[in-house]
Structure 1
């Protein structure tokens, strides 16, 4: 499939328009240029609507749209649990974790670990995140984005990846987080519009022109197994989504790690004007997450009926774009690229933040603010170059990239969640206890995988979490108490939320209860 000239024209207008907006936003009123707070945290001035939109734009990318749609093609609506359970996780993050982070006035997650524990814990986790962001997240986004461009536009995947990298650099390298966050608003609007339109056209095609509702009814009738939210042990995809574990098991660990302690996600909330704005943005993002399965999963399920012989599940979403009329196809292609470059920009900005503030700055503590900003920009370029050349060797042999990402990050996720939660809410936790949890997470994960290979990875994550929790508590109790904790005491943190946030939280719970009751 190739784009018509009019589609290409629409796409070019979008690209140029976005670059113009980004350059306008990136202008600095300061004579000496942006400092680290301006570049890495948008001057701590983001309003709630920019935070919410940027959270979703950073999250929804190639591995989400392409990868999750591919998983929808294979296993159905059950994969939507990643989105719907994330909504309630966001509410919990907004109420219980954000107040702690904002009170500590941090730039990065490793910085909090330094305040709470010591430089060993900070450096260990900073290096881990840098490796994961470059070799897992960036490579996945570039690889799947390149494949999408090849399928939709007929451009070779390598040149597609080069374009994505260059585009993200062009609008984010100079302006930093502020340029990324405000242009994300445009990206999210386009993404939601294009995604909903594609889902409508897909359902209409399934019903052979009888309308969206008729198409949805046909899908549920012909593919009833694709609408089981809780998979039974007999289901061939049970190892990926093991039944009730999506509600009470390892998925909680994965979601809390991703939404609560993931730098390129939480960085938007750290850049808020104040705690109340951050919490409003989190609640806004939670409702957008409830909408995402309609955009990213439903087209994959429809592809089972419309394109049943696809050689690769991750081709489901790009193939569905053949349904688009001329002009609209260019707009939806722009929405897909918007999601990809937004995530690339968010990830590279966070990579540069962690590298500059947690790795480089301690080595050269007396440099100017502008020097650190330059170092951050260089780190962005280096990370993208590495990811470009490593994308195909690392991901080229995988059928469902989304599941690959979950499997890999799941090795370290339990330890990260234990370190943060225990460190935040138990003052007796020590640095050695934190390091033991970090090392134990990898050791326990690989050990269980070898000795109990049939254990679903989500159950393994839950079990490793409990083992890391026990290990950190035991090591902390066995060691000497430390006096290196410089983080703000919880007695100085208020967990009271505004009425609007509480109402929004209740709404999320009610909607999720209805959804899981309907498709249990």
Structure 2
């Protein structure tokens, strides 16, 4: 670790922070719209960059490249197939959210079902963030940072101790971003970091192939394309971590939930100045997801040819970076990975605070006869962000003891919280007669069954297939429950916060995005380069 590496890391990290501060320094966040939704003034470039970078964290750099090293390119199905979910979200979900004036997904469910449903779903979201999202983002960032830098090596600390310190470093910086800058600072830093992501996405393959080819770029590329070709295959078999048939069952459901209902993602889309900008931002992020295999996953393929039998396979990405990149590029990569971890972490914090403040605390105060002011809600939200960040920082290092691959651990745990919410939202979209009682008991039924069949009973089914089966069973239960409440009906509340004219050219771009999705799966298959 030399001076050049440290200097380039500090320069890029400080540059992002200074630009974010400069762009938000005059925005005093004394309203919930300002702190949680950036005053709904973001254009599609900012929305698209924020959506992409809020999605991309160190989890992808660490977890996906580990999966490629252990198995093959089948893990790219998560990102590439999400394009379809993003198109459906842009076309169907965003107009509904903006038309009803929903500020959070539980807020929409409160309008569709009842207030107690809104509170229950808020609690489910908060549990998901605290148990899964926030700790995993911190842990992934810590693993990446420790592998690339190991700042604390002179102090002869253990790997476990390094992880603890890096988790707290990333968590502290992320909390400061979220508390001081709000969503506006988060979206601006995301947009800047997206440029850094493209830079390292080009640099790592270039220098990595040259390294494998002993200075010859084409020779290194030829080595990757001609040896150990089984790692190039994105069409996963039954024994792979991501079998191809799961794309059409549980993976599709999780992607639909993530891009159409995950609070910290939807919140970025709702910060747009109009429906048109929101839809264009989603399409821009979808294009970024198609570039994902080339921007994020090439290091795993390079690692296959560099390292044999790594003891700690989560270190594939940071070890490739440290071995193949020039020192100044290593610093830039570390800054982007740190930034990606921080932006996902603080987006999760901001959304957790939104859920707690607007859906739980505000109601609690009103029931006690006290009407909260805007400045009080912002102040309480910031304090909650600090509290939940501390809990996540204490929990994150213990992910090291998971006995599954890191990425599989994250996705499997997230399904327990995401799919029951997806189920009641989808049912709520397509019928106005399902009552609140069915929604609340449906959530409890799904979570209980998921825990039973994934963590207690041993089944031969992939967890993504279990998710799909439970989705169908819960949906059937909710529809049958309607027979016992024949008088229930829901009247949609309309509230126009922004212009609702859709993006006129959207269908052409949707077709191009879907064609790109098919092309990438074909490229990374036995019919293509594998």
Using structure 2 for the length normalisation, give the TM-score.
0.91
The offset of 1:519, in angstroms, is 3.5
Q: Distance in 2 between matches of 1:456 and 1:208?
A: 42
Q: 1:102-251, aligned counterparts within 5 Å?
A: 102-155=98-151, 156-211=162-217, 213-233=218-238, 236-237=239-240, 240-246=241-247, 248-251=248-251
CA gap of 1:196–1:154, structure 2 versus 1, over 3 A, is: same
Asked whether the 8 Å contact 1:191–1:335 carries over to 2, the reply is yes
* Other-structure match for 2:16: 18
The offset of 1:395, in angstroms, is 4.2
Moved more, 147-156 or 34-43: 147-156
The offset of 1:486, in angstroms, is 4.8
Asked whether the 8 Å contact 1:109–1:261 carries over to 2, the reply is yes
Q: Does 1:284 align with 2:284?
A: yes
* Other-structure match for 1:83: 79
The offset of 1:166, in angstroms, is 2.0
CA gap of 1:62–1:429, structure 2 versus 1, over 3 A, is: same
What's the secondary structure of 1:444's corresponding residue?
helix
Asked whether the 8 Å contact 2:274–2:499 carries over to 1, the reply is no
Moved more, 355-364 or 307-316: 307-316
Q: Does 1:51 align with 2:52?
A: no
Asked whether the 8 Å contact 1:411–1:445 carries over to 2, the reply is yes
Asked whether the 8 Å contact 1:187–1:342 carries over to 2, the reply is no
Asked whether the 8 Å contact 1:123–1:359 carries over to 2, the reply is yes
Moved more, 290-299 or 251-260: 290-299
What's the secondary structure of 1:309's corresponding residue?
coil
Asked whether the 8 Å contact 2:279–2:503 carries over to 1, the reply is no
Residues 334-368 of structure 1 show CA distances to partners (whole Å, capped at 9, x for unaligned) of 11111111111111111111111111111124111
CA gap of 1:515–1:394, structure 2 versus 1, over 3 A, is: closer
CA gap of 1:496–1:70, structure 2 versus 1, over 3 A, is: same
The offset of 1:285, in angstroms, is 0.3
Asked whether the 8 Å contact 2:128–2:417 carries over to 1, the reply is no
Q: Distance in 1 between matches of 2:170 and 2:243?
A: 35
Q: Does 1:402 align with 2:407?
A: yes
Q: Does 1:423 align with 2:428?
A: yes
* Other-structure match for 1:345: 346
* Other-structure match for 1:260: 260
The offset of 1:29, in angstroms, is 5.2
* Other-structure match for 2:3: 5
Asked whether the 8 Å contact 2:52–2:288 carries over to 1, the reply is yes
The offset of 1:196, in angstroms, is 2.3
Moved more, 391-400 or 424-433: 391-400
The offset of 1:488, in angstroms, is 4.2
Asked whether the 8 Å contact 1:106–1:112 carries over to 2, the reply is yes
CA gap of 1:353–1:305, structure 2 versus 1, over 3 A, is: same
Choose which of 58, 63, 70 in structure 1 pairs with 2:66.
70
Q: Distance in 2 between matches of 1:436 and 1:416?
A: 12
* Other-structure match for 2:154: none
Q: Distance in 2 between matches of 1:88 and 1:288?
A: 13
Q: Does 1:476 align with 2:477?
A: no
* Other-structure match for 2:364: 363
What's the secondary structure of 1:412's corresponding residue?
helix
CA gap of 1:216–1:433, structure 2 versus 1, over 3 A, is: farther
* Other-structure match for 1:34: 30
Using structure 1 for the length normalisation, give the TM-score.
0.93
CA gap of 1:26–1:453, structure 2 versus 1, over 3 A, is: same
Q: Distance in 1 between matches of 2:364 and 2:118?
A: 14
Q: Distance in 2 between matches of 1:104 and 1:28?
A: 30
Q: Distance in 2 between matches of 1:196 and 1:66?
A: 18
Asked whether the 8 Å contact 2:433–2:490 carries over to 1, the reply is no
**What is the alpha-carbon root mean square deviation over aligned residues?**
2.1
CA gap of 1:395–1:442, structure 2 versus 1, over 3 A, is: farther
Asked whether the 8 Å contact 1:428–1:477 carries over to 2, the reply is no
Asked whether the 8 Å contact 1:313–1:399 carries over to 2, the reply is no
* Other-structure match for 1:373: 378
* Other-structure match for 1:513: 518
Count of residues paired in the alignment = 507
Q: Distance in 2 between matches of 1:502 and 1:398?
A: 44
Unaligned runs of 5+ in 2: 152-161, 526-530
Asked whether the 8 Å contact 2:125–2:417 carries over to 1, the reply is no
What's the secondary structure of 1:192's corresponding residue?
helix
Q: Does 1:383 align with 2:383?
A: no
Q: Distance in 2 between matches of 1:505 and 1:488?
A: 27
Asked whether the 8 Å contact 2:109–2:118 carries over to 1, the reply is yes
The offset of 1:401, in angstroms, is 1.4
Asked whether the 8 Å contact 2:44–2:281 carries over to 1, the reply is yes
Asked whether the 8 Å contact 1:117–1:485 carries over to 2, the reply is no
Residues 284-324 of structure 1 show CA distances to partners (whole Å, capped at 9, x for unaligned) of 00000001111222211220111122112211100011211
Asked whether the 8 Å contact 1:25–1:175 carries over to 2, the reply is no
Q: Does 1:269 align with 2:281?
A: no
Q: Distance in 1 between matches of 2:87 and 2:57?
A: 22
Moved more, 57-66 or 435-444: 435-444
Residues 34-85 of structure 1 show CA distances to partners (whole Å, capped at 9, x for unaligned) of 3110110000111000000000110100111111111121122110000101
